[in-house]
Amino acid sequence: MSQRINAANQGALLEAVNGDPEFRLAARYWNGSFRLTMGPDEAYLFRIRDGELTQVSLQPTIFDAWDFEIAGPRDGWKEIFAETPRPFYQDVASALFRHGFTLGGDVESFFAYHAALRRVIAALRRPLR
């Protein structure tokens, strides 16, 4: 799987997520960040301010703070991002229990903004241009 988010499509992702009324509703009180780690060499850090996705860091470091992290194998993320995901890959929560994904950090924040996170992942399922 090639890098899902890059400098060329990063703006399109911000536009897609912030233009999604369901994301805006679910994230309306969110001020925080989360990290998605896809295998050993690909990770992204998402920053949310006042319910708006403001930044996606393409190469986060160990010094970058985040509230929670979802990590999983590269093949598992490929399944999650499929147009029609297989059972238990439709949502990262089910992948945590069934497919070797891990959740780290502030679990309460993860569940509080899970609906908003689902909308970010829905945007990542679509081609970004």
Q: CA-CA distance, 93 to 124, in Å (whole number)?
A: 16
pLDDT in tens, 20-45: 999 999 999 999 999 999 999 899 99
CATH of domain 10-125: 3.30.1050.10
Q: Residue 31's pLDDT is what?
A: 97
More confident residue, 126 or 31: 31
How confident is residue 7, by pLDDT bands cut at 50, 70 and 90?
Answer: confident
Residue spans per domain, the chain: 10-125
- Return the biggest CA–CA distance within the chain: 35
Q: CA-CA distance, 12 to 18, in Å (whole number)?
A: 10
Ranges assigned E (strand) in 65-128: 68-72, 102-105
Q: Which amino acid type is present at position 107? A: V
Q: Residue 1's pLDDT is what?
A: 43
pLDDT in tens, 49-61: 999 999 999 999 9
- Please answer whether residues 126 and 6 qualify as being in contact, where contact means their C-beta atoms are separated by less than 8 angstroms: no
Phi, psi at residue 122, to the nearest 5°?
A: -60, -40
- Both tokens of residue 60? 């986060």
